[in-house]
A and B are shown apart, each in its own frame.
Chain A
Amino acid sequence: MSREEEIKEGLYEHTLVGEAAEVVELTQEGIDLGMDPLDILFGALIPSLQEVGRLFEIGEYFVPEMLVAARAMQGAMALLRPLLVDKGAEPIGKVVMLTVKGDVHDIGKNLCNIMLEGEGFEIVDLGVNVKPEDVVAATQEHQPQLLGFSAFLTTTMPFFKSNLAALSDAGLRDSVKVMVGGAPVTQEYADSVGADGFAPDASAAVRLAKQLMVDMGYDVSMGGDDGEGATALASAVQAVEELMVKSGQHEE
């Protein structure tokens, strides 16, 4: 086996068990050896996360295991990102993501971030408990095409509306498309607050993000993987979101 193959195998194995230090080290070694960053990403990291998702789906893996795997992948992405940009893989669009005011749940949002990034979007993550005025400020500063609002509680969902109102007041509403999601959110609710789209899970969020970009007249044909990244993580993300719904209380 060549060293390149060993590196890919190692990346797969270490990502699977969330060993971030090893993943970062191997990624760096691969880069130093001149491996194709896209090969590292799609030949090792994403298949590993796909397996994490499968294990999660069958009840073998739990949330902390998903999170450490995702974190390991993010460590590798920090090294790969500049190279992907150098290769001319321009971001297909910029998304500002956040969890609304009063809400600190971010597992679903973070998985959306990883998937959107895997699809070639540039992500600006504002974190959790983000006030409407900070949504406006970030929209002015970063000039994204898309905004993503996440809420895990029925009590914090109304901040979708507050955020949209703040954007309108600042004259920014027409400059961006807004997508919303989170455990209790429905298409009807998204429509009722005037969002541009709703995604029930992170793979849907990627499709929605691309569709909204097309609606705005952008070309989103990049990626080089024809949505492979999205499919790869879809099961993982869907499983997490199902679990989030169940986490509060069990339906009998």
Chain B
Amino acid sequence: MNTVISSAKQTVVIGSDHPFVIIGERINPTGRKVLTKQMIERDMTMVCRDARRQVEAHAHVLDVNAGVPVDGVEPEILRQAIQAVQKTVDVPISIDSSVVEALEEGLAVYEGKALVNSVTYEEERLETVLPLVNKYGAAVVGVANDDTGISNDPQERLRIATQIVERAADHGIPAEDVIIDPLALTVSADDNAALVTLETIRLIREKLGVNMTCGASNISFGLPWRPTVNAAFLSMAIAAGLTSAITNPLEAEIRHTIYAADLLMGHDAYAGNLIQAFRSERKRQQASG
């Protein structure tokens, strides 16, 4: 099953027979003081810089989140950030907010078929986000949790994912436009966290067949060697059936591991993408060094 998203200039296909899709996570003010300050002042300098740098680092899609700690301003800032990113780079955008008004503002100015990040299996969320996704013909990330929270049982996560796909269908959104987030929690707090996610990915691939993405950086919270832990997790998740991830392509270890995993999964004929990425990085290094 293929999920197609697009900008005005580029189309990206997410699917198990396609190269793994990197959704760049950097444009997000959480924990970033300078970016937060600039966003609140409606200054999009760092947003544009992060967009450029992530695309240079082979991000296929950019996640844009404007969740600053000021009440009521997110819709306007998200709209401005999306407009700024669209002017700066050509890749499609994942519009990231839990505020429905912000999603709507973002979708209204977006040129192409966006990815909406995200909806959970919570009645109020389903009934506000899904009509919006349908109205704008977007794709949507469905997070495998419901009103009762996040289950540690992969079967339960599969059940919720299945219900999200069904509810999306009720709203006229086909299964290929639903990307399930199997949820990666930190292994800092629970040794089994990654195993639960990996098993959920296997189950969803087998029973639902839809595409999947997840915020892969969560897994290593509070640990040393974070990029290594993230990269190891990603390569296991790719083997299990994950087809895209919201992660940081600026970390070479993560970026390189994804290329390597893709090659090993048979998604990169003659290692063409890996070699090309290697050359472009070497060229940039030589240019800057």
Contacts and interface: CB of A to CB of B under 8 A. Distances in A.
Interface of A: 62-64, 67, 102, 104, 107, 128-129, 131, 153-158, 161, 183-186, 189, 192-193, 243, 245-249, 251
A247 B31 contact: yes
B213 interface: no
Given A63-B221, A249-B248, A192 B32 contact: no
B223 A251 contact: no
A25 B34 CA distance: 49
A161 B70 CA distance: 13
Given A131-B147, A249-B26, A251-B31, A157 B69 contact: yes
Given A63-B222, A104-B150, A155-B98, A186 B69 contact: yes
Contact of B69 (A63, A129, A184): A184
A63 B30 contact: no
Contact of B30 (A64, A129, A184, A189): A184
Contacts of A186: 69
Nearest to B97: A155
Contacts of B35: 251
Contacts of B217: 248-249
A102 B32 contact: no
B189 interface: yes
A247 B220 CA distance: 9
B70 A62 contact: no
9 contacts: A102-B120, A107-B222, A155-B67, A184-B30, A184-B69, A189-B71, A248-B30, A248-B31, A249-B248
A66 to B, nearest CB: 8
A62 B221 CA distance: 10
A243 B224 CA distance: 12
A111 to B, nearest CB: 12
A64 B188 contact: yes
Contacts of B221: 63, 247
A248 B188 CA distance: 14
Nearest to B215: A248
Nearest to B225: A62
B70 A189 contact: yes
B222 A154 contact: no
A153 B147 CA distance: 17
Q: Looking at B26, B31, B71, B221, which has the most chain A CB atoms within 10 Å of its CB? A: B31
Contact of A62 (B28, B31, B223): B223
A157 B148 CA distance: 19
A108 to B, nearest CB: 12
Interface in B172-226: 185-186, 188-189, 217, 221-224
A189 B147 CA distance: 26
Nearest to A59: B224
A249 B25 contact: yes
Given A153-B67, A155-B99, A104 B185 contact: yes
Contact count band on B: 20 to 34
A67 B191 CA distance: 12
A63 B149 contact: no
A-B residue pairs, 5 tightest by C-beta: A63-B222, A154-B67, A248-B31, A155-B98, A129-B149
Contacts of B186: 63
Contacts of B33: 251
A251 B34 contact: yes
Contacts of A247: 31, 221-222
Contacts of A128: 149
A243 B222 contact: yes
Contacts of A154: 29-30, 67-69
A186 B37 CA distance: 13
B33 to A, nearest CB: 6
Interface string B103-122: 00000000000000000100
Contacts of A102: 98, 120
A124 to B, nearest CB: 18
A211 B33 CA distance: 29
Given A107-B222, A249-B26, 7 more contacts: A129-B150, A153-B67, A183-B31, A185-B69, A186-B69, A193-B71, A249-B31
A248 B28 contact: yes
Contacts of B98: 102, 155-156
A161 B69 CA distance: 13
Contacts of B147: 131
Contacts of A67: 188-189
A154 B150 CA distance: 19
Contacts of A62: 188, 222-224
A192 to B, nearest CB: 6
Nearest to B187: A64
Contacts of B69: 154, 157, 184-186, 189
Q: Looking at B67, B120, B147, which has the most chain A CB atoms within 10 Å of its CB? A: B67
Given A102-B98, A104-B150, A153 B30 contact: yes
B196 to A, nearest CB: 13
B223 A249 contact: no
